[in-house]
Amino acid sequence: MDCGCTNCTCGDNELITSLCPECGSTGNLIPEKAVKANLKKEHNPAVKNVDIFLCPDKECKTSYYSEDNTLKFNLSDLKRPLWYKNNSDPVIACYCNNITESQVIEAVENYELKTWQEIVLHYQEKTLCLCKKINPTGECCTEFFYSIINKTLLSLGKESVNIPGGCTC
């Protein structure tokens, strides 16, 4: 079983980090395309020839920032909520295909679907895998997506599925 991605390059991101100017958490360097795809359009011109990082802390209101602190964006500067931040609504499970956490739960509960591909195809005509350009982290959603599937399966008293190794980034 794999995640359905073809030609996946999600694991190619370099691991360069910088501390969040707001909370001090260690954030990873994010591909510029992913930053621009997630920031509201008016902020895109500011992101030029600068390394941008993403705050991983669920309580912090900061999203993207530059190492020299000249740029610091809030959650409200993003087009869609960051799934791991507190009070995100909706909680997005897959950014490439626009699938929410509640849609995943519904697909598992009501249609007995158990894979990323089955669930995306339940709601969309085809699957897209452009994590490096679309996911706010530039990485694949597989791990979070399957954690929702498994949480739901367990709540139904069913056996959990293995998280695919092909694209866990």
28: which strand partners?
Answer: 17, 54
Rounded least distance, CB 75 to Zn ion, Å: 10
Among 29, 35, 39, 55, binds Zn ion (CB under 5 A): 55
Rounded to the nearest 5 degrees, what angle is found at the Cα of 17, between the Cα atoms of 60 and 47?
75
Q: Which is nearer to Zn ion, 2 or 22 (CB)?
A: 22
Rounded least distance, CB 53 to Zn ion, Å: 10
- Spell out the long-range contacts of 99-107 with Cβ–Cβ below 8 A and sequence spacing 24 or more: 99/123, 99/124, 99/145, 101/148, 104/145, 104/148, 104/149, 104/152, 105/148, 105/152
d(CA 97, CA 109): 20
Instruction: Report 28-47 residues binding Zn ion (CB under 5 A).
Output: none
Instruction: Report 56-75 residues binding Zn ion (CB under 5 A).
Output: 57, 60, 62
Q: Considering the rule CB under 5 A, would residue 22 count as an interface residue with Zn ion? A: yes
SS3 19: strand
Q: Which is nearer to Zn ion, 57 or 106 (CB)?
A: 57
Rounded least distance, CB 25 to Zn ion, Å: 5
Interface with Zn ion (CB under 5 A) = 20, 22-23, 25, 55, 57, 60, 62
